[in-house]
Amino acid sequence: MALYSEKVMDHFRNPRNVGVIEDADGVGEVGNAKCGDIMKMYLKIEDETITDVKFETFGCGSAIASSSMATEMIKGKPVAEAMQLTNKAVAEALDGLPDYKMHCSVLAEEAIRSAIEDYERKKRGEPSLTVKENVESEDN
Ligand code: FES
């Protein structure tokens, strides 16, 4: 039996929405301390709807497939709905992930949440934590 579903292989080989949104309304970056994989999510939001989303994943194939699928699932959706997206729903949309790869889909859920939180912070006029993190990492 194949370890990975056809959908996982498709999104891994041919990921959707890869890249950067320069003038993003929300940016989220998360990492998994155990495997060291990192995912960055960019959101463009108009009238509380996600009009565009792009991601960069420095990680395993399941993380790439999960972020690709997750971006497709939230594009065009209201922010409140995207906030509810679970890693389980992403894994199901991919026709499943092996148990020991479920944490890869958690990265996608967390990256989206962190990007939405960044957007909410900006709306309140608070500084973007993500930008601060970037400045720090550029110094190193
Ligand atoms: Fe870490 Fe997949 S092995 S995200």
Is the CB–ligand 1 distance for residue 31 below 6 Å?
no
What does the pLDDT read at residue 91?
Answer: 98
Q: CB under 8 Å to 98, separation ≥6 — which residues?
A: 3, 4, 62
What does the pLDDT read at residue 127?
Answer: 81
Residue 31 CA, ligand 1 centroid: distance in Å: 9
Residue 110 CA, ligand 1 centroid: distance in Å: 13
What does the pLDDT read at residue 2?
Answer: 74
Active site residue 60: no
Among 21, 25, 2, 4, CA closest to 105: 4
Against a cut of 0.85, is the pTM above it?
yes
Spatial contact of 70 and 50, defined as CB atoms under 8 Å apart: no
Spatial contact of 73 and 92, defined as CB atoms under 8 Å apart: no
DSSP codes joined into one string, 85-105: --HHHHHHHTT---GGGHHHH
Residue 124 CA, ligand 1 centroid: distance in Å: 33
d(CA 7, CA 128): 35
What does the pLDDT read at residue 139?
Answer: 42
What does the pLDDT read at residue 130?
Answer: 60
Percentages helix, strand, coil for the chain (3-state, rounded to 5) are 50, 20, 30
Residue of 20, 35, 80, 131 marked active site = 35
What does the pLDDT read at residue 140?
Answer: 39
What does the pLDDT read at residue 101?
Answer: 96
Domain 6-127: CATH architecture, name and number where available = Alpha-Beta Complex (3.90)
Choose the residue to mutate in 4, 60, 66 for probing ligand 1, maximizing ligand atoms within 8 Å of C-beta: 60
Active site residue 35: yes
What does the pLDDT read at residue 132?
Answer: 46
Ordered per-residue pLDDT tens for the chain, 140 residues: 578 999 999 999 999 999 999 999 999 999 999 999 999 999 999 999 999 999 999 999 999 999 999 999 999 999 999 999 999 999 999 999 999 999 999 999 999 999 999 999 999 998 877 654 444 444 43
Residue 78, Cβ neighbours under 10 Å: how many? 14
Is the CB–ligand 1 distance for residue 91 below 6 Å?
no
